Structure 1
């Protein structure tokens, strides 16, 4: 017998023995694992196993209940005879397929990172491939009963989802890592979760829709129907507080007025802080340079439209004149080849008073034009480059003013000059760049192909509607195709705020790349909103169902950042409020006032009552951070943080809550400044615009 034949026979004999060993030894362990996980037959295509760690020596009992065809409830129980010191408790869910799509509310770039309950606004972990999708949703009712902190994790590399208990600490702004030192009390400990599964093509295309629908029905709608998140139904008193605060009680600090090009112009200042309160006992110490912004965040032209609408409704000519001065200021920004800057500011100085140095602004005689300093290149507004999103957003609001308030043809002309320049900047794939060099007017390196393009789609759609010039519609549709193809399917929701505002984690290594462990980009809600808005605008113009289909998917992803419950660890009313991104920690961020109208409009177009409720909840949440007796729980937090506040401060409103990632019921989580154009003034604008569009009865009684 040759050596080669001998080798073949020997190899075959070893393989046969190996197969026998597999049958004898491995199959019983597989059966045991299945029995331990107790996976129902209807779940086995989706979930391979569910396991749980011990608590001390106590072994978990795991059981499932089928609630409907595609919905299951999992319960994990331990019985402890004594309290246990243990750093973490984990329930691990392993998918039965290899997902190519993953979604989680927060990034966990290493095994030591977790998703803490602080960011559980609409908590879920979602996975999908081309055939299956499922969502793991914590039982929020159990979280309300449990004094221990809950957590989640999504490990795409190991195909593992986790829900459990454990403390956390903040190591970046804002990511969370595991912390030691948890004590688990004696008695029964229960972790519960829902599994929402599907093999339908529609659910795989849009893995968010059934998840947001379930969570709103389960937790959000019952709260909405009893009046959350405000303590009273009418928002009109909040709007009155806003304008009395800005133009009466805090007028000296807020309102800026000066002559420019022979015209009297003015607008509320970019930012004020608590040291500028009429009740503050010390010296004013300005937080940032005195300035007025017309950009994609803080936009005085947008806020002025709310003031104009309110002035007409209340027959207040003084407020109307304030609004008109802000319009004049926007029109006074010089254009260079159609492009224009977004900021007008003054010089700053430090002065010493009673031995203490404080920041003060010089007069408007030192004014200069600049751009937003939230960018990758410089913190100096003078040197900051042109930002396309800022210009498109401002030009869009010029068209809103022109179409809805007064047909001042200067607004249309200004916007057209910019639109004609903008369409020349579109690249071969359809994208618009993010930043343009001040000197060369050439695109700069960052975000050359990003969802910031969607802002320009909305603007160009409005230009086509105003002028009938088909060039604008053609450019808008080319841009939208690029965003649909490259951005939406993989969730590449990167914009200026994602990396170059307060949450700069990842700006050195994540831009344009997924966080490998999560198979997700660092994502911001701003550009998700812009894209959902652009898709709806194009659908209304063209009636192409593709735009509505992708628009609803994008909107549903945005709604994963909207709070659908009232957590016991959040001291202010939270229903309807929005978070910012998957690496930040805010609740009730001011962007919700911008989002509200779009969500309602999708509800109208889709005849979807839930969207309408969510949009109105977002609008109401826009006023929950205001210092006023109308918000007793919030007012208590303000007084704990700033005890000198009084009646003249009614209307002061921080842009969000829990910005640094931690809160308590003694003022922690309350900030120290108000941005009128990204706070009370923005909320008032949204309310006034929606009242004009739908009527006060719809807005306040629906």
Structure 2
């Protein structure tokens, strides 16, 4: 069903003009007040409304340029017919100079709701797939009630926001912008404003690619696993594997990070990117990765690999507890040395100089030795101790260690149910940041796992109280603030945005780590209680998480992207390693809710976890690696950067390819997820059609 008309415009450059609103279908008029065009001189413009399915229309606007035009941009602004209370966009645009560049169009949508209406705007990815002489962008101006789809150049400003840039050239001929409108007044859609969008985008773009085999064109991931362990424990063993004696025992784990200067084929001198260390925290967790190695060794009867995994377990148990509280990092002293070329290089002084500390991704210090204890790091590590105890070995030391921590944790819970974020080294008292945040959710999952193993009702009571706090304060407003939101590489807003919405977008700066933790905790609460309220909130939270997952293959991305995840609404990564952590949870919801699309998304996420690996198994990625690091050879097979396009730019000549591997947040983490899912569901899972 189509509605079309030619409308003539005599526009001055950068002036705005309302499109032919009389043509708009009546059911759309309930949700859209008007659509206006800004930025191009035109003599004729055509707007066509096409009904795609119930409650979904496609809006296509076409114009014809008699000659090429260089201008700032061309954009269409949609003004909702209601005043939204809730807004969602994939990226922040804190002022009128900022836009949402197509670089972060993983699952691009603008969503608004009030008490009785929902409207979603989705750029036409099919039209984008054909290519465009000018990049696309979006914007959401909550203050002026405008949702924007446009075309224009952008530049990276802060890490990572995008600003408008001049110089867009529109060649003579046809120019088109198109978008989909999803609208609803259903109470179900208002409770979960993401579900219709998640469903539509996967059906239209994600599922067809998935059925073609994307993002890997083979279902057997076992070769990636073997290549990971070959890389870590044979060809790159010297820089990766760290082993030393502690209290009379040999302990060890892969190092936190290695870079290309440590490659066997690197022609220059080694220069370490960061301090030599081993981490057991919410990102980089050697205990989690070791479980994948243990599972693989058990399955393949590789006792030498099993011994390495056991050494990592021993190391985790060696982290000293103080009233149940424990550090997350063990590191060596570093020194600067002068090479034969006269340049300065950073090197380790060796494990004889070891010390314990905590993650330096925090609001207080970059010094790991002085960094405070972090509850999320401890709860995540203690949770994996319980998984090891439950599924791999009945080593009672793991259970005892976790229980000592849990007893300390529940004493720190505040009256409303939240756990603090950071504790002072001196007296273990809570510090000043994120003391009522969704970081609490990872402690919920840990405490419920401990309750299952011990039947101590104190842990269940503490966990459900904490979950209620997150459900009431965090989820409805989207206050997804955790340590990574402000105190990792994307520090924009760390001085003045914490705990506050960005007014122009009516959104908090958000990170999807805490969204994942919350969806996981809600599923565990439901599994334990069978209370459907947990499941409803859990699916809502999962769908919000899935808005960070790529549903298409952009023509401007040189690697495969389907199923990969971004990170937050102020950063630029594709195919981030967190997708390996997310995969099983998405699959669990899929099985529970009988949702084949969730199951497909889960497998796509797991496959995407291996896309960035340097290996002949990934020809597109391998070409990019070789463009960036031409000295790479077969000894580097398995090297894998944690993500792609981190700095907000990519090209076909290696731009967007990184320089390092974090085993516990890259190849080792992906291998762990695969081995765990195989143990839980069988390798045949990856050959099912769903």
Superposition TM-score tier, normalisation by shorter sequence: over 0.9
SS at match of 1:489: helix
1:586 correspondence with 2:573: yes
SS at match of 2:376: helix
Check the 8 A contact 1:535/1:547 in 2, yes or no. yes
Check the 8 A contact 1:302/1:685 in 2, yes or no. yes
SS at match of 2:458: helix
1:20 corresponding residue in structure 2: none
1:413 correspondence with 2:400: yes
**Counterpart Cα distance in 1 of 2:30 and 2:64:** 31
Per-residue deviation, 1:636: 0.2
For 1:629-648, what aligned pairs fall within 5 Å after superposition?
629-648=616-635
- Of 277, 283, 286, which residue of structure 1 is paired with 2:263? 277
**Counterpart Cα distance in 2 of 1:513 and 1:700:** 46
Per-residue deviation, 1:376: 0.1
Q: After the TM superposition, which of the residue ranges 230-239 and 126-135 deviates more from structure 2?
A: 230-239
1:310 corresponding residue in structure 2: 296
1:669 correspondence with 2:656: yes
1:110 correspondence with 2:95: yes
**Counterpart Cα distance in 1 of 2:485 and 2:38:** 36
**C-alpha distance after superposition, 1:117-163 (max 9, x if no partner):** 00000000000000000110010010111322000000000000000
Per-residue deviation, 1:422: 0.4
Per-residue deviation, 1:551: 0.2
**Counterpart Cα distance in 2 of 1:186 and 1:34:** 21
1:82 correspondence with 2:67: yes
SS at match of 2:476: coil
Per-residue deviation, 1:190: 1.1
**C-alpha distance after superposition, 1:255-301 (max 9, x if no partner):** 00000011110000000000000000111000000000000000000
Q: Which one has a bigger Cα radius of gyration? A: 1
Check the 8 A contact 2:610/2:670 in 1, yes or no. yes
Check the 8 A contact 1:56/1:86 in 2, yes or no. no
Unaligned runs of 5+ residues in structure 2 are 1-16
For 1:384-403, what aligned pairs fall within 5 Å after superposition?
384-403=371-390
Unaligned runs of 5+ residues in structure 1 are 1-31
1:267 correspondence with 2:267: no
2:13 corresponding residue in structure 1: none
Per-residue deviation, 1:91: 0.4
- Of 677, 684, 689, which residue of structure 2 is paired with 1:697? 684
For 1:671-686, what aligned pairs fall within 5 Å after superposition?
671-686=658-673
- Are the structure 2 counterparts of residues 54 and 516 from structure 1 closer, same or farther at C-alpha, using a change threshold of 3 Å? closer
1:232 correspondence with 2:230: no
Per-residue deviation, 1:405: 0.4
**Counterpart Cα distance in 1 of 2:658 and 2:467:** 38
SS at match of 1:336: coil
Per-residue deviation, 1:353: 1.1
For 1:71-150, what aligned pairs fall within 5 Å after superposition?
71-147=56-132, 148-150=134-136
2:549 corresponding residue in structure 1: 562
TM-score normalised according to structure 1 size: 0.95
CA RMSD of aligned residues (A): 1.0
- Of 516, 525, 539, which residue of structure 2 is paired with 1:538? 525
2:325 corresponding residue in structure 1: 339
**Counterpart Cα distance in 1 of 2:419 and 2:641:** 33
**Counterpart Cα distance in 2 of 1:262 and 1:60:** 79
**Counterpart Cα distance in 2 of 1:57 and 1:561:** 36
Runs of 4 or more above 3 Å deviation = 32-37
For 1:350-361, what aligned pairs fall within 5 Å after superposition?
350-354=336-340, 355-361=342-348
**Counterpart Cα distance in 2 of 1:35 and 1:664:** 39
Check the 8 A contact 1:45/1:96 in 2, yes or no. yes
1:11 corresponding residue in structure 2: none
Check the 8 A contact 1:65/1:73 in 2, yes or no. yes
Q: How many corresponding residue pairs?
A: 671
Per-residue deviation, 1:50: 1.0
1:476 correspondence with 2:454: no
- Of 41, 51, 71, which residue of structure 2 is paired with 1:56? 41
SS at match of 1:167: strand
1:23 corresponding residue in structure 2: none
Per-residue deviation, 1:56: 2.3
Per-residue deviation, 1:55: 2.3
1:177 correspondence with 2:163: yes
For 1:488-637, what aligned pairs fall within 5 Å after superposition?
488-637=475-624
2:647 corresponding residue in structure 1: 660
Check the 8 A contact 1:54/1:60 in 2, yes or no. no
SS at match of 1:189: strand
Per-residue deviation, 1:414: 0.3
Per-residue deviation, 1:51: 1.6
Check the 8 A contact 1:36/1:62 in 2, yes or no. no
1:156 correspondence with 2:164: no
**Counterpart Cα distance in 2 of 1:236 and 1:199:** 47
Per-residue deviation, 1:36: 3.9
**Counterpart Cα distance in 2 of 1:34 and 1:629:** 51
1:432 correspondence with 2:419: yes
**Counterpart Cα distance in 2 of 1:33 and 1:585:** 33
Per-residue deviation, 1:186: 1.2
